[in-house]
Amino acid sequence: MARRSVPPTLAWLAMLIGLAVLAAFIGGVTLYVEARARSRTQAQAITGGHVDAGRTAITRRGCGSCHDIPGITGASGMVGPPLSKMATRRHIAGGLPNDPETMIRWLMHPRQMRPGTAMPEQGLSEAEARSISAYLYTLD
């Protein structure tokens, strides 16, 4: 049997398509990484907190026992609301405006802001509340 060879133009076309797909993939990953970095920088700027410290505080304080929190291992609680997409929500805590200062105050003193809430006082310092807020504002 005679062996068929691939025409050179078809081989070049296949190679160009492969390179285009690879370039699109690399471009997409680059855009994603840049967007995440921008989100992180913006969250830290508006809250005065640090995203990594917020992630640590969320884990240490056990927030995931009540809340489902993206990016936090084991944070799959069903008692409180899920905390996904916090950066794009209009309200927090059942009607408070979702702005950094309200979020920070809410985290520090939920029962002062909404008497009767199920959200417990955690005894958070302002620095912890700012950092937790920074982490939550990366969730979009």
Residue 129 lies in a domain: yes
List the CATH number of the domain containing 116.
1.10.760.10
Cα atoms in the Cβ-side hemisphere of radius 13 Å centred on 21: 6
Domains identified in the chain, total number: 1
Is the Cα dihedral 89, 135, 108, 100 positive or negative?
negative
CB-facing half-sphere around the CA of 81: CA atoms within 13 A: 10
20 domain-assigned: yes
- Per-residue pLDDT band for 35 (boundaries 50, 70, 90) equals confident
Domain encompassing residue 99? 8-136
| Within-domain flag for 116 | yes
Per-residue pLDDT of 47-71, as tens digits, reads 999 999 999 999 999 999 999 999 9
Structural domain includes residue 1: no
When comparing pLDDT for 81 and 34, which is higher?
81
